[in-house]
Chains A and B, each alone.
Chain A
């Protein structure tokens, strides 16, 4: 028979778990509402074109260098690793085909989204979180602005538009990097490598490679905004929101990638 102290401890534990669960459900509800309001705000006026351009510049142009480096080195290392494995089967000439399909379908979208999450998603959470703790969000509301229209909607649009563009750049540079390794390290001819790339890519690959980053862009910007606007507890809270936004967005990107791949493979099967 458990003692009254043990029972009290168990009751406290259950209560805390229930509170945590309720908090999580509320957070998901808030996230869904914020995303819905952000998206509907894009469809109706007033819109803030200056804000939209500023966010696209920050997210797109600002992330260009890390996306270029990530894409290029990923393509290069993928070529080296693939060649080592393919050599065992005498299939080195297929390396270009493997690299381009891997980059376009999977690595380009996911790595670009993860890099942009680290750079921009965290920045969104930090910026909005700072605005919350310094009462700037309250000031916006008092002065007649809707923070969702003014702050969230432009960031969502920037994510949805710019992440696919960055992904295309990353894919291109990844394949280019792979071709450099193929030519200078694996002694493949330039023409052969690019012809195998052209032969390997299908419209299905391109559709899959462009649909995923749209979703990833939405996830990283909506999570960044959600975490930022839920900030409490001063500057320490801003730090926590920033960390959480990167962790949650990264996990969501990776998990949604799996489910999207399952669905997209049904819609656009590999021929």
Chain B
């Protein structure tokens, strides 16, 4: 584990630069009963119904793992949270703001609180890795160039790609692209991280690197997250692993007894409806035929 992340310089994020992003993630240390994301009876249809009355909450400091087959509406949930889609009916609240009714310019503040890792990374082809990671900071224009470069290098170090600053996305492997996307999502220190199938199409070792990063962000920075995946192995990896920092080294531990897991919830979608919501232990012991088939 430490080998995989040893390129990280171990530096804690610096807040002393008059940094407007400083402490954004710390905001999660507020009332834990207040949901960070709330879906209330959300419906959405295109040619066919995509979501049919989906309701759930994401509490601060927790991770929700959304499972389901292809076309079950998993990615749509993330797009709704980001305001990229509008629901036909129902309410979506992100950190106290109802995003379903906001216009595009008004969504900017909400999106600043969210980091998104897209399925294939969605890196901008025409920009270097450094420019991709620093894109949000450059667009905001709040930080001087030196501070942006410092932050970008810090984030690239965090994902183990410190030496790739000047490379183009086309020079990276699939796993490296996802890690750059990770750094880009984290650069503004979001309160919420959304992961859309971050390990799909990756080999098991690279997939573990990605799930380790998810745990690292969750356990060390206290960022709440929603992980959409149909890779059961990676979903349970994230649920069972937790990361600690000991003597400047990252140490991963694995919980053997699923019944003792806290802070991670599973949700399963089937054809746009929530068929299961609960802990990893409850998921594994469920007698529902669809869940049993999905897990088998």
* Interface residues, chain A, with chain B CB atoms under 8 Å away: 130, 134-136, 138-146
Contact = CB atoms under 8 A, between A and B. Distances in A.
A65 to B, nearest CB: 23
Interface in B85-120: 104-105, 108, 111-112, 114, 116, 118-120
Contacts of B112: 144
Given A141-B84, A142-B114, A144-B136, A135 B119 contact: yes
B140 interface: yes
A144 B106 CA distance: 10
A142 B139 contact: no
A136 B123 CA distance: 7
Contacts of A130: 125
Interface of B: 79, 82, 84, 104-105, 108, 111-112, 114, 116, 118-120, 122-125, 135-136, 139-140, 184
Given A141-B84, A143-B135, A144-B112, A134 B140 contact: no
A136 B84 contact: no
A225 to B, nearest CB: 16
A136 B125 contact: yes
B52 to A, nearest CB: 23
B108 A144 contact: yes
B141 to A, nearest CB: 9
Contact of A135 (B111, B122, B184): B122
Contact of B122 (A134, A144, A145): A134
A130 B124 CA distance: 11
Contacts of B111: 141-144
Contacts of B140: 144
A143 B136 contact: yes
Contacts of A141: 82, 84, 104, 111
Contacts of A139: 116, 118, 122-124
Q: Which 5 A-B pairs have the closest CB atoms?
A: A135-B122, A139-B122, A143-B136, A135-B118, A142-B116
